[in-house]
Amino acid sequence: MNAIKSFLTVFFVIVFTFYLNAQDKKVEVGIVGGYGYTMPKIKDARNNIEKTTVPLASFNINSDNLSGFHVGPILKFNFSELVSFQTGLLYNRFSGTRLKSSQAMKKLGTYEQSKTTLSAIDLPLRALYSLALADEFYVMLYAGPNINYALQKTTDEQVFVDNKLRESQSSKGENIYAGTPSHYSAFDLQMGAGMGIQYYKVSIRAGYDWGILNRTTYENISLRSNDIKVTIGYTF
């Protein structure tokens, strides 16, 4: 955690330095934020005997889709009016619930559910092409890798009675990346692409990132994360 804090401090110092020296607009500084949706994908490549002997569910791999937000600073290096390179440092926060009781029980107010929370940092490295449609109005296409580092992922088991959380009957989950040893890798590499529009200093874009690395160490089982992001940005 101290290493992450140090990295964040250095990054923000670099961003501020670029901002002070970005008078010729070859380097632009901005901030972005928006909606995120992450989709873990599990592939079981074990043989049929192994699948029968040890069911996939016994590994307790959480593959629930989660939604949330992302926010952070960006740097844009303009090589020409049309071609640029963009990077940044984005904080992601996702969460989701999975009902373990029936819908009828939930309507009555007494039910059980699992709540998963995930926080992570993104370092996107994007090549950006902008096509001018009118004065200060551009269509943008971008592609490139995204380096992702998960900070924490927990799944809490919650019990509700009369629509109120019963702390005494509920349990807090442990961070899957903090286990010793952990069966999960906090580091991921994704490849992404997307498009958007920019009008003067305001932009909106949507993109998809495909997970490349296997996030689990279980033999013959793979876990990859694909993400969707819709982002609004402002360039200073």
Summarised one tens digit per residue, pLDDT across range 22-54 is 455 688 999 999 999 999 999 999 999 888 898
One-letter amino acid at 176 equals: I
**Which tens digits make up the pLDDT trace of 15-29?**
555 555 545 568 899
How far is Cα 83 from Cα 216, in angstroms, rounded to an integer? Answer: 37
Mean pLDDT of the 88-107 span: 91
Does residue 219 carry a pLDDT above 70? yes
**Which tens digits make up the pLDDT trace of 141-184?**
999 999 999 999 999 999 999 999 999 899 999 999 987 788 99
The pLDDT score that the predictor gives to residue 225 is 94
Does residue 210 carry a pLDDT above 60? yes
Tell which residue, 122, 130, 127, 138, has the closest CA to residue 229.
122
> Which positions ≥6 away from 130 have C-beta within 8 Å?
81, 82, 83, 84, 138, 139, 140, 198
Mean pLDDT of the 58-65 span: 87
Tell which residue, 167, 53, 13, 138, has the closest CA to residue 5.
13
The pLDDT score that the predictor gives to residue 5 is 57
The pLDDT score that the predictor gives to residue 15 is 54
> Which positions ≥6 away from 15 have C-beta within 8 Å?
29, 73, 75
How far is Cα 36 from Cα 164, in angstroms, rounded to an integer? Answer: 28
**Is the separation of the CB atoms in 37 and 65 below 8 Å?**
yes
**Is the separation of the CB atoms in 57 and 221 below 8 Å?**
no
How far is Cα 199 from Cα 189, in angstroms, rounded to an integer? Answer: 31
How far is Cα 155 from Cα 145, in angstroms, rounded to an integer? Answer: 28
Average pLDDT over all residues of the chain: 89
Does residue 195 carry a pLDDT above 70? yes
State percent of the chain over pLDDT 70.
Answer: 89
The pLDDT score that the predictor gives to residue 16 is 58
Q: Residue 186: which pLDDT band, with cuts at 50, 70 and 90? A: very high
